Amino acid sequence: MTFPKTKPIPESHHYILQDLPTGHLATLRPDGRLSVNPVALIFDGQHIRVSTLKSRMKYKNLLQDPRVAISVPHRNNPNIYVEVRGIAELTDDPDRSFVNSIARHYMNVDEYPFDEAGAQRVTITIHAEQVSAPEIPLADDPPAAPDTQSQDET
């Protein structure tokens, strides 16, 4: 498969992707409905990359239709975000080098600790066809939502 030339993500928003973001990855299910899942990601300055298991629906969905979208809000201010729509490239991660890079970045451990023995990993590389990184009113002073009480406090 030939992938489109990746559109650049504005440098003004790289800090969101280089922090410890949680992206929301959208794939198309076989019935045409959308599926959205939170994911950890690595941004190399050009591409957003995500790891998943071959047993997960997002992987199976992308095998059938490689169109993908991801929205990545600033982790402390969701009014600031980057959205990328494009095509997913799937690459096996047999030595677990990519998922382990996520573990180092997010958890400060050398090996990703949560997979069962024999789990097969794949790296999703997003080739951006469209990028949205808008300037948002109130980005520096977002409206605050009231804190809710936990059940322990009631």
pLDDT band at 139 (very low <50, low <70, confident <90, very high): low
pLDDT at 134: 85
Task: Give the domains, in start order, of the chain with CATH numbers.
Answer: 11-134 (2.30.110.10)
- Beta-strand (E) ranges in the chain? 22-28, 34-40, 42-43, 48-53, 67-74, 77-92, 121-132
- Residue 24, pLDDT above cutoff 90: yes
Q: Side chain identity at 154, as an amino acid letter? A: T
pLDDT band at 77 (very low <50, low <70, confident <90, very high): confident
- In this prediction, residues 72-93 reach a mean pLDDT of 93
> Residue 147 burial (CB < 10 Å; 0-12/13-18/19+)?
exposed
pLDDT at 76: 84
Q: What is the pTM of this model?
A: 0.88
pLDDT band at 116 (very low <50, low <70, confident <90, very high): very high
pLDDT at 105: 96
- Strand 67-74 to 48-53 pairing: unpaired
